[in-house]
Chain A
Amino acid sequence: MKIGIFKERENSRETIDFTGKSVLDLLRHLQINSETVLVVRKNEVLTEEELLEDQDRVDILSVISGG
């Protein structure tokens, strides 16, 4: 499936092909530590177990303070 991603820390957008199912699968695919981010879809914060769907757009927000 295709997932649109906005990464807050890099201020970047991309669409990726993704074969996993859950938010945790996505973070592992992107090699992002789940401790360091919140994942938001349509203004709703998602738990790591939440399932993603084709054409979903998610924001990956950094929880780490910038300094």
Chain B
Amino acid sequence: MNCSQCDQKAVLTLQHGKACKRHFINYFEEKVFKTMNKYQMIGRSDTLGVAASGGKDSLTVLYLTKKYLEKNNFVNTSFFALAIDEGIHNYRAKTLQDLEIFCEQYKIKLTIVRTTEEFGATLDEAYPKVNKDTHKKPCNVCGVWRRYLLNKHARALGATKVITGHNLDDEAQAIMMNMFKANISMAAHIGPITGVQEHELFVTRVKPLYFCTEKETRLYALLKGFAIEFTECPYSQEGYRSQIQDMLNGMEEKYSGTKQGIINSFLAILPLLREKEQREKQESIKICTSCGEPANQEICNACKIKEVLIEK
């Protein structure tokens, strides 16, 4: 099967036709750069903290951020990679090794923050204790920790934006999770640029891979030769997300364009969701009385988890 635009062999069938290696790479990069431009994700005086784990999404977004800055001659925009090591045995050390090699190869400054330094425990150590008291799943604890540490350390390192590698599949899953759980308030906070209210302690998160599917991103990373060894988080099958992921992939296989349809529908109503959230949310963002970081309540979720760990 040949590419729709030339006589080279196709590597992927897209909605609009087949693409060979060269045309797929062009298509993918143009899509990411258009997303960056459309949502004004990167400014000429920004300092960018790229949330990185060493997986295909973060290596791709790191590479394309660097390429975008060079292509557009953004000489005053600096960027660095920021990784969170939550210490998951047999998993995180490998992905961080891939990340360190990648950052060295592309001369990208990398900072690794460890949960043991901030919370005194790895996820493996903390999860059984926290789960006993709160019934929280490992992904809940990990999510709270990662968001907290990314925001805190990106800000400390001078970042004006945090770039994440969330792709179209991640977002479609998050939209459906919020929908199924009737979590309209949470839904208002996601999107290509996160957040409803601006706050000096919150670093805005942006998602350049927002319109790229998981399959496209894996293919791009493969064709570009990024060294990624498949590793699986031992907790990944425990989460609600993995069931939504299976459901959406099943739908996509039968009805091509399902995930894109979810994203398009969501983007059409996102302004209304944000307007509703701003109108109904009487209180502004609070400051955690324990750590001084932004919070929804008197004590932030990260400090609540910390309290459980100290009590044990």
Chain A residues with CB under 8 Å of chain B are 8-9, 11, 33-36, 38, 40, 44-50, 61-67
Of the candidates A47, A61, A64, the one having the most CB atoms from chain B within 10 angstroms of its own CB is: A64
B235 touching A64, Cβ below 8 Å: no
Of the candidates A11, A35, A44, A45, the one having the most CB atoms from chain B within 10 angstroms of its own CB is: A35
**Shortest distance in angstroms between A36's beta carbon and chain B's nearest beta carbon?**
6
A67 touching B233, Cβ below 8 Å: yes
What CA separation (Å) do A46 and B236 show in the bound complex? 28
Nearest chain A residue, comparing its CB with the CB of B252: A35
Interface string of B257-289 (1 = CB under 8 A from A): 000000000000000000000000000000000
Q: How large is the interface on B (under 10, 10 to 19, 20 to 34, 35 or more residues)?
A: 20 to 34
A65 touching B11, Cβ below 8 Å: no
Of the candidates A45, A50, A61, the one having the most CB atoms from chain B within 10 angstroms of its own CB is: A45
Collect the chain A residues with CB atoms within 8 Å of residue B11's CB: 44-47
Q: Contacts A35-B215, A66-B91 given; 15 further ones with Cβ under 8 A?
A: A9-B232, A11-B230, A44-B9, A45-B219, A47-B18, A61-B222, A62-B230, A63-B215, A63-B218, A65-B55, A65-B57, A65-B214, A66-B55, A66-B232, A66-B233
Collect the chain B residues with CB atoms within 8 Å of residue A9's CB: 230, 232
Q: What would be 29 A-B contacts, judged by CB atoms less than 8 Å apart?
A: A8-B230, A9-B230, A33-B253, A34-B253, A35-B215, A35-B249, A35-B252, A36-B249, A38-B222, A40-B222, A44-B11, A45-B12, A45-B21, A45-B222, A47-B13, A48-B13, A61-B222, A63-B217, A63-B219, A65-B55, A65-B56, A65-B214, A66-B91, A66-B232, A66-B233, A67-B88, A67-B232, A67-B235, A67-B236
What CA separation (Å) do A35 and B56 show in the bound complex? 16
Collect the chain A residues with CB atoms within 8 Å of residue B236's CB: 66-67
What CA separation (Å) do A15 and B257 show in the bound complex? 33
Question: Does B175 have its Cβ within 8 Å of any Cβ on chain A?
Answer: no
B218 touching A61, Cβ below 8 Å: yes
Collect the chain B residues with CB atoms within 8 Å of residue A49's CB: 1, 13
**Shortest distance in angstroms between B11's beta carbon and chain A's nearest beta carbon?**
4
